[in-house]
Structure 1
Amino acid sequence: MKKFLSMLAICLMLSGAAHAQVPEDANEIQLEYLSGNSFNQRHVNNYNVHYFEKVTDNGVISYWRGLTFTRAVGYTNPKRDGGVHHDSQGVGFGPAFMLRWDKKVSGKLHGGADFTGSFMFYNKAHPYDGRAYGFLWRLGPRLTWQFTDSDSMSVGYSISHFSNGLRKHNPGYNTLGFSVGYTHSW
């Protein structure tokens, strides 16, 4: 797996000649639904809003910073507790970053991949038996339609992981889902 990721990174860096031209002052908002129903004992769905502002672009990968707001709804039922349903709802926000590789496919259509990370603060321990803080990591492909020089719409598919990142006690969960984004530059 490490060799595959290393080769992928090298290929992405070498393919920068045809990347999409996103203005330096671009701002993006993403609305996202992530479903946790496909994983055992973790039935937590997330409704997220991400706001990103472009910081820099090295010709291959662009770096964005922003904020993430999340609403988690659902329950966990760990085997160690006999499968009892535990409320795992919460509301959170926190700083975020995004690395985006983007390449022109044809005309106004661009394809790419996003990797985002957020450090989240929640209104209570989330998920059940967790902490009131945690990390959100997302990775997935994105298709973008650039309909003017300063505006574009995108749709993405993500796999994500929520956890507090601690080794001894780390109740986390994974989700899959879709997002819709709008980017505008001034």
Structure 2
Amino acid sequence: MALLNPSFEDAGLLPGEAEHWTLTASTSIEVLAGFGTAPEDAWEDFERWYALLASLDDVTVVLAFFDSAIKGYEEFESGWANVVYLYEFPPAQLVTATFDSNDVEDCETGWSNVPYARDWFGVVSVTGVFDGEPCEDFEDQWRSNHLYAWTWAAVTASVALFDAGAQAVEDFENAWTHTTTL
């Protein structure tokens, strides 16, 4: 699509405007926020609230205590409603699952696969039949795929035609709608 009035020679409706072009203007305002005793600096240094300590040598260390025991760590046992841990299942709460009156699942019954074939001698073999033949030759009922071309000489060549069969070369010049900008 071509640009209309690319050199701005054609005047628009208003003074200073070019035909087929849109003039967009934007403005913004900036405001500085002042902090502390020197608002002209316009940054917050957080040092007026606390004294800056360059090392931990002058810091008073306090040990935090948890619950009524005098320990300096939280063991997450008291006050969390999980004081009693189960380290093993008590025998009174164990119920053995049964599988067809057995204690273990042997995957032998109820799976439509009994008995298992443990070697190839136990497998019944049947010859597959395709179209009355003992092998699939992929020639029948496969959408005419038996017409393979085994050499390029066997392929029928035809010239591609463009513009409703009028040209043998696509020149990209006809049947294209021209677009203009408003």
Confirm or deny a common fold (TM above 0.5): no
TM-score under structure 2 length normalisation: 0.15
Higher strand share: 1
TM-score under structure 1 length normalisation: 0.15
